[in-house]
Amino acid sequence: MTIDRSKISWNGWGWAAHADALAGRDEVWSWLAAELGMPALLATPARTLESITLQPPRLDAEARAKFESILGAERVKDGTYERIFHARGRSYHDLLWLRSGEIPNPPDAVLYPRSADDVLALLHAAGELGVAVVPFGGGTSVVGGVTADTGSFGAVVTLDMSDMDRLLAVDPVAMTATAEAGIYGPALEKALGEQGFTLGHFPQSFEFSTLGGWIAHRGAGQNSLGYGRSVDWLVAAKLATPRGVLTAGGYPASAAGPQLLDLVLGSEGIFGVVTEATVRLHRKPAASDYRGYLFHDFGSGAEAIREAVQSGIPAAMLRLSDAGETRFYRAFGALGKKRGLRGRIEDFVLNSRGFDDKACALVAGFEGGDADVARGRAAFAAIAKKHRALSLGEGQGRRWKEGRFHGPYMREPMMEHGVGVDTLETATRWSNVETLYVAVQDALEKAIRETAPRDGAHGVVQCHISHAYPDGASLYFTYIFPRALDREIDQWRTIKTAASDAIAAHGGTISHHHGVGEDHLPWIAGEKGALGIDVLRAVKMALDPKGVMNPGKLVP
Amino acid sequence: MTIDRSKISWNGWGWAAHADALAGRDEVWSWLAAELGMPALLATPARTLESITLQPPRLDAEARAKFESILGAERVKDGTYERIFHARGRSYHDLLWLRSGEIPNPPDAVLYPRSADDVLALLHAAGELGVAVVPFGGGTSVVGGVTADTGSFGAVVTLDMSDMDRLLAVDPVAMTATAEAGIYGPALEKALGEQGFTLGHFPQSFEFSTLGGWIAHRGAGQNSLGYGRSVDWLVAAKLATPRGVLTAGGYPASAAGPQLLDLVLGSEGIFGVVTEATVRLHRKPAASDYRGYLFHDFGSGAEAIREAVQSGIPAAMLRLSDAGETRFYRAFGALGKKRGLRGRIEDFVLNSRGFDDKACALVAGFEGGDADVARGRAAFAAIAKKHRALSLGEGQGRRWKEGRFHGPYMREPMMEHGVGVDTLETATRWSNVETLYVAVQDALEKAIRETAPRDGAHGVVQCHISHAYPDGASLYFTYIFPRALDREIDQWRTIKTAASDAIAAHGGTISHHHGVGEDHLPWIAGEKGALGIDVLRAVKMALDPKGVMNPGKLVP
């Protein structure tokens, strides 16, 4: 395993020892209470691990013996910590359960295969025994993709892939690499970097997620504009299924019928387990430039991104915060700081140039050779200038890059203070971005008000465009709301449902890069159509005829 | 219909009136005979349409009445011309049958739907009646993709999509267009061009093939480097199946499970009929630059392409002929021309610079804005210079572009003179290009010698790299051989089998852009694996449970 799991939080995000940047900062909480229309925020601590009692493992002796015969006894684990760690992903919803100590359906054992043969043997055994199997990479799903679910069976095991973590081969001529799927992001990048390459896949979960997970949930990294999404960089994959190994892809291009990679990408473990993948590499960038801009409004910022992407400017990332997100982080950053001369000059300059509370911050990132970076930066600067944006310089970009993986750490301090924070995302064509943005924003704000613990309380809803394509873009919403402590699962679901209904009604996909899991299941049939669902079911029947693979995910 | 079908050859390629550039040029035929090790070439004319008698249509009165009730009687055609025109595609193999007048299994009727509802009704009826259905766009398949095949049924109808040819919508903001699938290449480009856009998909069959065909066989145009293959430009597709409409894709990016476009691309009509597609557009290029280079050998030319593609140089096309192809076209072009002072100077310069019979010609095309074209051209020139290539200037590029769609017209004059000419193609990773090239070349040369009509006769085998990717490239082989007139179908199959076995044994895909059809069927299970074939069969069962769709193609 290329990560020390014992140092990862079992009921929150990331490193357990990660410092709480908000500890002791009372001004933050009084400010946030005001932002949410609340008189004050309550302390809402999590249960300790020691205080939690799980139901006993439901795996019978025969099943346990069978799994042990395949892996060895030490690779079949059912201690409380293991079962809780693997019970759920790391969504807000998951954290509600984990922090409450109510974990009604943890896996009955966690299995650690070391090879594709191990996986095949385990899946075959699970089919014979009638035990559900949940594939697990880093476990950072935020859509219920790894929730232990028995389906129609009496027990469920989680298949933890983290011991299948070898970089198997690098082809420096074709610029591809083949690795086992359980390798974590940092270990993969380190191994590739030693040979001068990068995959360039940096989702916010990068430190805690695996190659197989990125593929299984059809993910996108923050630099997808420069390095592609998983659908772009995946060349070949091996999927271990209860019926054997499906090998998909493997050629730089082929017209020999469907390549089946599309059935692996986003398959979320319902057909099988990704055990190995071949991916396209890039040379480690010689140069990198991240910088900030301020646009007068969301519309002009979005237009700038569209123009940049449609004209093929070589950017690694273009990320536009809406006015709400821009204002929130500016106010948050200013908290507890003295507003000196510099700040007043800054305000004066902004006002004199016509920037008001509709102003939107954009971070533009460029990576590659010196010439490409210079060209991309200059070309985007020209577009920004055309839209009368203000250049904020490199400091803004550097700060974003330094904190690029830290966002999720903010959830726990908030949850400790009676505040909920969740995110969701979608994508649509450029001609529909504004419509979808308004619809989802409105739905979130309305649902938060309606589910708030008291009259007059409301949410903070923010949005950014973080991934752009020639034909459209993603919208990523973050919403902060006062928790209704007596009905918080309902509250979460009501808000989520309102937003998801708005997405479906206004031409967005139910997920741009989080996946479907359990949480988006109610919207998938609408998006795929009945015949699309039939096709996915037919594929599942062909590969997993007994239906043991990851019950309750992706397909209703 | 956006093309006048009556002007298209029923037993050869393209416009029936296309002038035979070789007519009366005896020097060509004596030269070609010598190239093939033959003392002379025989006249081998084709049968006339009037002299051919087809078996009577097998459609019974009930079936015919049913189809007529859906479409109207005038859209259910079973005249000899219609049935022969639609009996086969336009491969060498097809032309052997068509020119011989032996057409054992023509469609029993040709149906011309006008809408997706028509198509759905026809497919439903075909299922009820037990009649096989062959979807047909332009009919230019060179792998047996439109061969009328009854499968297990008693009759077969061809569904000709050419009356579903409207451009339905252009979204200038998202830069996408939606069109009915039966639209021909020139009509689509004309309609898009009027709004300032291009799809940029120019296969050699461009003039005679349709949008739906490009999707159904997972095609690539000559400018795929600049504009992408069908897998790159297809945003959404509607597939009419016997069980209803499958809508695939539709978002700029989505992680909501498999997008199913991969099951439409390359589906070759076995699941259903592509009726409508949304595609990504490019702005019509303001500038265009095509020019030639001469490399010392195939290896250095291939390296130059690899470097250019891996460093992201904006090229529309990079096409490298091997030494055999370079020599052949140079010699062919010089036939019957006086070798003056200019030619002798040219030879002197080439020799003095160390170019010998291993020299390889490359055409580099750049399209886009002025700056991009200038940048691409300069960057590629620098790479070419590093490899000591000689710049041949724009004339070379212009000539290639002028003749870009004319290659297939050469087949019929050759076939008239007892000469066969066929093509096949594959793709592999860069680190395997040389190995695969040698293996297929050897297999073709050996098989041609072994099947030649006399001892000492042999073939001319040429190859070019026409499509390149960061991780690999395609290899396109053209092979010319003396026809063994007493066993020419066997001869064709023996040569094809030898080459295909070599492709499969040496890491190539059985097709880079032609598709699978009937001709590549023996190699598809090896390429996909048994489980991959099971998946495709499961999808077929879900969408076409009675198995009426395009029997005998894609899946064994």
Read off the pLDDT of residues A170-186 as tens digits, 9 standing for 90 and up: 999 999 999 999 999 99
The minimal CB distance from B174 to the residues A265, A429, A529 is found for A429
Separation of alpha carbons A498 and B155, rounded Å: 53
Reply yes or no on whether the pLDDT at A221 is more than 90.
Answer: yes
Quote the tokens at residue B305. 């392409």
The minimal CB distance from B531 to the residues A176, A243, A429 is found for A243
Read off the pLDDT of residues B436-490 as tens digits, 9 standing for 90 and up: 999 999 999 999 999 999 999 999 999 999 999 999 999 999 999 999 999 999 9
The minimal CB distance from A267 to the residues B258, B266, B534 is found for B258
Nearest-10 Cα torsion for A475, A480, A483, A489: 20
Q: How confident is the model at residue B332 (pLDDT cuts 50, 70, 90)?
A: confident
Neighbours of A65 (CB within 10 A): 13
What region does B163 belong to: left with phi over 0, alpha with psi -120 to 50, or beta? alpha
- Quote the percentage of chain A above a pLDDT of 70: 100
Q: How confident is the model at residue B79 (pLDDT cuts 50, 70, 90)?
A: very high
Separation of alpha carbons A9 and A103, rounded Å: 16
The three-class DSSP label of residue B482 is strand
Query: Sheet harboring B287-295: ordered strands across?
Result: B390-393, B287-295, B360-368, B317-321, B460-465, B472-482, B419-429
Q: How confident is the model at residue A337 (pLDDT cuts 50, 70, 90)?
A: confident
Separation of alpha carbons B221 and B206, rounded Å: 8
Separation of alpha carbons B350 and A367, rounded Å: 41
Instruction: Report pLDDT for B61.
Output: 96
Query: Is there a contact between B509 and A173 if contact means CB atoms under 8 Å apart?
Result: no
To the nearest whole angstrom, how far is the Cα of A255 from the nearest Cα of chain B? 5
Separation of alpha carbons A325 and A460, rounded Å: 9
The interface pTM score, or ipTM, of the predicted complex is 0.96
The three-class DSSP label of residue A75 is helix
Phi, psi for residue B56 in degrees, rounded to 5: -65, 150
Instruction: Report pLDDT for B350.
Output: 85
R_g of chain B, CA atoms, integer Å? 23
Chain B CB contacts of A245 below 8 Å: 529, 531
Query: Is there a contact between B255 and A312 if contact means CB atoms under 8 Å apart?
Result: no
Query: Is there a contact between B539 and A535 if contact means CB atoms under 8 Å apart?
Result: yes
Per the prediction, chain A carries an average pLDDT of: 96
Q: How confident is the model at residue A307 (pLDDT cuts 50, 70, 90)?
A: very high
Which domains can be identified in chain B, with CATH numbers?
12-48+57-160 (3.30.43.10), 167-283 (3.30.465.10), 287-404 (3.40.462.40), 408-519 (3.30.300.330)
Helix intervals (H) in B417-487? 433-451
Q: Which helix (H) or strand (E) holds B280?
A: strand B273-280
Length of chain A: 556
Helix intervals (H) in A171-322? 185-193, 211-216, 224-227, 230-233, 261-264, 298-310
Query: Is there a contact between A431 and B171 if contact means CB atoms under 8 Å apart?
Result: yes
How far, in whole angstroms, is CA A45 from its chain's centroid? Answer: 25
Reply yes or no on whether the pLDDT at A342 is more than 80.
Answer: no
Read off the pLDDT of residues A55-94 as tens digits, 9 standing for 90 and up: 999 999 999 999 999 999 999 999 999 999 999 999 999 9
Instruction: Report pLDDT for A21.
Output: 84
Q: How confident is the model at residue A321 (pLDDT cuts 50, 70, 90)?
A: very high
The dihedral built from the CA positions of residue B157, B160, B163 and B166, taken in this order, carries a sign that is: positive
Please, what's the b/e burial string for A221-254 (b: 16 or more CB within 10 A of its CB; e: otherwise)? bbbbbbbbbbbebbbbbbbbbbbbbbbbbbbbbb
Asked if B543 and B521 touch (Cβ cutoff 8 Å), the reply is: no
Query: Is there a contact between B509 and A254 if contact means CB atoms under 8 Å apart?
Result: yes
Q: Which helix (H) or strand (E) holds B463?
A: strand B460-465
The minimal CB distance from B171 to the residues A244, A254, A429 is found for A429
Separation of alpha carbons A227 and A371, rounded Å: 17
Reply yes or no on whether the pLDDT at A282 is more than 80.
Answer: yes
- State how beta strands B460-465 and B472-482 pair: antiparallel
Asked if B366 and B292 touch (Cβ cutoff 8 Å), the reply is: no
Number of helices (H), then strands (E), belonging to chain B: the values are: 19, 18
Quote the pTM value: 0.97
Q: How confident is the model at residue B349 (pLDDT cuts 50, 70, 90)?
A: confident
Q: What is the mean pLDDT of residues A427-431?
A: 98
The three-class DSSP label of residue A278 is strand
Separation of alpha carbons A177 and A180, rounded Å: 10
Q: How confident is the model at residue B415 (pLDDT cuts 50, 70, 90)?
A: very high
Instruction: Report pLDDT for B218.
Output: 98
Half-sphere exposure (Cβ direction) of B111: Cα atoms closer than 13 Å:
32
Phi, psi for residue B210 in degrees, rounded to 5: -120, 160
Separation of alpha carbons A294 and A313, rounded Å: 19
Q: What is the mean pLDDT of residues B208-233?
A: 98
Residue whose tokens read 């076939």: B415
Asked if B70 and B125 touch (Cβ cutoff 8 Å), the reply is: yes
Length of chain B: 556
Query: Is there a contact between B535 and A539 if contact means CB atoms under 8 Å apart?
Result: yes
Amino acid identity of A32?
L
The minimal CB distance from B431 to the residues A173, A311, A471 is found for A173
Instruction: Report pLDDT for B462.
Output: 97
Read off the pLDDT of residues B266-292 as tens digits, 9 standing for 90 and up: 999 999 999 999 999 999 999 999 999
- Quote the percentage of chain B above a pLDDT of 90: 93
Residue whose tokens read 């237009």: A303
Reply yes or no on whether the pLDDT at B2 is more than 90.
Answer: no
Query: Is there a contact between B262 and A260 if contact means CB atoms under 8 Å apart?
Result: yes
Query: Is there a contact between A253 and B217 if contact means CB atoms under 8 Å apart?
Result: no
Q: How confident is the model at residue B343 (pLDDT cuts 50, 70, 90)?
A: confident
Chain B CB contacts of A511 below 8 Å: 254-256
Q: Which helix (H) or strand (E) holds B302?
A: helix B298-310
Separation of alpha carbons A357 and B229, rounded Å: 44
Chain B CB contacts of A524 below 8 Å: 256-257
Instruction: Report pLDDT for A349.
Output: 79
Q: First and final CA of chain B: distance in angstroms? A: 33
Nearest-10 Cα torsion for B206, B211, B214, B218: 150
R_g of chain A, CA atoms, integer Å? 23
Q: How confident is the model at residue A317 (pLDDT cuts 50, 70, 90)?
A: very high
Read off the pLDDT of residues A118-147 as tens digits, 9 standing for 90 and up: 999 999 999 999 999 999 999 999 999 999
